[in-house]
Chain A
Amino acid sequence: MEKHSVKNLASQEQEWTEVIEPDKPWWQLNIGELWRYRDLVILLVRRDFVAQYKQTILGPLWHLITPLLSTLTYTVIFGNIAKLPTDGIPPFLFYLCGTTFWGYFAKCLTSTADTFVANQNIFSKVYFPRLVMPLSQVISAGIGFLIQLGLFLIFAAYAFWQGAPIHLSWALSLLPLLVLLMVILGLGMGIIISAMTTKYHDLRHAVSFGVQLLMYATPVIYPLSMVPPQWQKYLLLNPLTSLMELFRLALLGEGFFEPVWFAYSVFMCVVVLLAGVVSFNRVERIFVDTV
C-alpha cells in the first residue's frame, strides 16, 4: 500500500514539464529544446537576410561588392606594391580565396560576440534557448559565404580556362569539414567573448581590432611558405593557419598540409566550441540580472 503511494507520487513528479531551479549543471545543454526552436532559427535567418537589404539600392549585391573591393585592395597593396609572393597563384585569386574564407570566419566571430549585449532587450522579455541567436547569425553569414564562394569559383574557373597554374586537389573532399571547423571556431570564440562581455564591457571595443590582428597572424594575405621555416611552427599554433592553407590547397592546388597540424586544428576547434558552449550556458541564465 505504502509502496504504491510512493510510486504514485513519483509518477506525479515526472509529469512536470519543467522544473526551474537556481542552478543548472554547466554541462546540461538541452539540445532537444534547441531543436524545438529550429523554426525560430530559420525565421531569424530570414529576418536578417530580408531586413539587411531593405532600403538599399544594391541589396544582396553587397555580398559580392565587399569581398571584391577588399580583394582588389589587397591585390594592389600586397601584390603589386609590396610584391608579396602567392605560391605561384594569380594574386587576385589568392586574395579572393583568402577574403572569402576569412570573411566568413570574422563574420561568425564578430556577429556572435555581442549576442547578449545586442539582444539584451528581447532576452529580458521572453525566454527561448539563447543559443538560437548565435546559431542564426552563423547561418545568416553562411548564406553570404556561399554567394561569395560561388563568385570565387567563377573567377577561378575563368582563370583556369585562361591557363592559370591552378587546379583542384584531393583536399577538396575536406572542404565541407574545413568550413564546419572554421564555423565552430568562429562561433566558439564568439560566444566565449559574448559571455565575457556581459561582465567586461571593454571587450566589445576590442573585438573588431582583435579580429584584424588575428588576420595578420593567419596566412590570409600571405602564404605560409613565405614565413621563415623556424617561425612556421609558431604560426601553426594558430588553428586557423592549417585551415587557411588547406582551403587554398583544395581550391587552388597550392598550400600546406601536415596531418599532425591538421589534427591539432581539429582538436583546438572542438575545445574552443566546448568552452564557448559551457561559458555561454553559464552566463545565459544570470545575465539578465547583471547587464
Chain B
Amino acid sequence: MAKTVIHVEDVWKRYRLGVIGATTLRDDLKRLSAKLRGKEDPTVPLDKSNHLNHKTKDAYTWALQNINLEIKEGEVIGIIGKNGAGKSTLLKILSKITPPTRGRVKIRGRIASLLEVGTGMHPELTGIENIYLNGAILGMSRREIKEKLDDIIDFAGIAKYADTPVKRYSSGMRVRLGFAVAAFLEPDILIVDEVLAVGDAEFQKRAVGKMKEVSSGQGRTVLFVSHNMASVQHLCHSGVVLDKGRVVYQSQNIDEVIQYYAKQVRQQVSIPLMSRNDRSGRGEIRVQELCITDTQGNLIDTILTGQAVNIELAYKVSREAPLQDVMVALSLRRFDGTVVTTLSTEYLCSNFQQLTGEGRLLCHIPRLPLTSGEYILNVMIRSQGEIQDWLEDACVLCVENGDFFGTGQVVPASHPGVLFEHMWKHK
C-alpha cells in the first residue's frame, strides 16, 4: 500500500476582508488612547460600531473550510475549481507560505512548489548565476545544482545564452529557465500552479512530458492546479474539485472529476439586461436577456473550444404592429478591443421578417473556433435599416481550451486567435 505523503486534516483558512493590516501608527495610537480613557474606538466607522457583532463577522471570509485530503505517494492529483474556490490558498498552505487558521497538514518528504516559475531571478545576473540562485531559493544546495547544471541548461534550451544577463532574455526564455530549475529539483512532492499556461507550444509539451516523467517514472507525487482541463486530464490520475473553499468532489478517476466540474460550471447564468440603461436605438424592440446554452438547452458560462453552442436572445417588441425585416447582429471582441467576428442575420440572408410580442431567437454555432479567453458580446438589432436596439458589452463569453481539432492537442495561450479547420497532406 502506498504511503500517505500529504495528510490535510480539517484545514480552515480565514482571511480578513478589506484593507488588511495596513493600519497606521496614528490609528493604533488613537485606538489605544481611547481604550485607556474608556471611550469607544474612534477609528471604527460609525455604522460599524452600531452593529459591531454583525459587521465583524462579515469582515472575515473563509477561503478554505474543513479540507480533508490524503494524498498517496506517486499520486498525480489535479485540483480544479473556479477562481476564488480556494485552490491557490490550499497550495500556499501546503508550501508553507501562509499558515492555516485551523487544522494541520502533515507532509512526508521534500516539497517544492512552482507557484510562479522564475521567482527571485535577478535581471543583472547571468543565466547560470540565476540557476544557482533560483535553485537555492527552492531549497537545493550548491552541490546539487552543480551536478544538474548541464541538464538544466539543456532542458531550458539556453546553452548559447548561459553567460548572458537574464535581462536580455525573452520572457519565454526566462520561463523556460525557471521551469527547468524547478523540474530538476527532484522533490518528493511537486506542487505546480498554472505554469503550463506560459511558454511556447514545444516547451509546454516538454514541460508536461517532464512532469509525467517525474510522476510516473520516478514515483513522485504531483499536485497540479490549472484552469486548463486538457492538461489536467492528460496529466492527472485523480482529482479534487473545490468550490467556495470546500471540497465538493473527489475521485480517483480524473475523467469523473472533470465531468463533475463541467456540470458545476454549467450553472444558471442569466444576465439582467433589462436593468441596463446604456442602450441606444429607437427601442421598439429590446433584448431582454442574452445567454449561452449548450445543445441540450442548458445554460453554460464557460464554453470549450470546439464545443457546439447556442447564443439565445430573448426579445420584446413594444409596439402593436409587427416589426418588419429585423436584422440581429452579435459582434465579438476581445478585452483589448480587437474585433474577432460578427455574427449577423444579414450575412446569411435570414433577417426575421416579422417579430411581435415576446420571443426568443437563437444563434447556433456548431463548433466554436475561438481560443481560450474571454470575449465580449455586443448586440445590435435593426429594423428596416433603422437601429432599434444597440447594447455594448451585453455579455461575456468565457472560452476554455478544448479539443477543437479532435486530436487531443490544445492550442497554447501564446497562440491566441481563431481556429480554422484545416488539413495537411502531400500534394
Interface string of B16-47 (1 = CB under 8 A from A): 10001111111010000000000000000000
Decide if B108 touches A125 in the complex (CB within 8 Å): no
Q: Does A43 touch B at the CB level, under 8 Å?
A: yes
With known contacts A17-B110, A122-B120, A200–B28 Cβ distance under 8 A:
yes
* Nearest CB on B from A155, distance (A): 32
Decide if B125 touches A122 in the complex (CB within 8 Å): no
Decide if B20 touches A47 in the complex (CB within 8 Å): no
Decide if A16 touches B95 in the complex (CB within 8 Å): no
- Distance of A17 Cα from B106 Cα, bound (Å): 8
Decide if B23 touches A200 in the complex (CB within 8 Å): yes
Q: Does A21 touch B at the CB level, under 8 Å?
A: yes
Q: Does A11 touch B at the CB level, under 8 Å?
A: no
- Chain B residues 104-131 with CB under 8 Å of chain A are 104-111, 113, 115-116, 119-120, 122, 124-125, 129
With known contacts A17-B109, A19-B106, A127-B95, A51–B25 Cβ distance under 8 A:
no
Decide if A202 touches B97 in the complex (CB within 8 Å): no
Q: Does B99 touch A at the CB level, under 8 Å?
A: yes
Report 28 cross-chain contacts, Cβ distance below 8 Å, ordered by A residue.
A15-B108, A17-B107, A19-B106, A20-B96, A21-B99, A22-B101, A22-B103, A24-B99, A39-B136, A43-B136, A47-B125, A54-B124, A122-B120, A124-B97, A125-B97, A125-B115, A125-B116, A125-B119, A125-B120, A126-B120, A126-B138, A128-B139, A199-B23, A200-B28, A201-B22, A201-B24, A202-B26, A289-B98
Q: Does A162 touch B at the CB level, under 8 Å?
A: no
B21: which A residues are within 8 A, CB to CB?
198-199, 289-291
* Nearest CB on A from B110, distance (A): 7
Partner of B97, one of A15, A203, A288: A288
Task: Count how many pairs of residues, one from A and one from B, have CB atoms less than 8 Å apart in the complex.
Answer: 126
Decide if A19 touches B107 in the complex (CB within 8 Å): yes
- Distance of A19 Cα from B24 Cα, bound (Å): 34
Closest-by-CB residue of B relative to A18 is B107
With known contacts A122-B119, A125-B115, A128-B137, A17–B108 Cβ distance under 8 A:
yes
* 7 additional A-B residue pairs with CB within 8 Å, beyond A47-B129, A200-B25: A16-B106, A22-B100, A46-B129, A54-B165, A126-B119, A201-B24, A290-B22
Residues of A within 8 A of B (CB): 15-24, 36-37, 39-40, 42-44, 46-47, 50-51, 54-55, 121-128, 198-203, 285-286, 288-291
B113: which A residues are within 8 A, CB to CB?
126-127
Q: What's the interface size class on B, roughly?
A: 35 or more
Of the candidates A15, A16, A126, A199, the one having the most CB atoms from chain B within 10 angstroms of its own CB is A126
* Nearest CB on A from B185, distance (A): 11
With known contacts A290-B21, A291-B21, A126–B115 Cβ distance under 8 A:
yes
* Nearest CB on B from A218, distance (A): 25
- Distance of A37 Cα from B98 Cα, bound (Å): 19
Closest-by-CB residue of B relative to A199 is B21
Closest-by-CB residue of A relative to B113 is A126
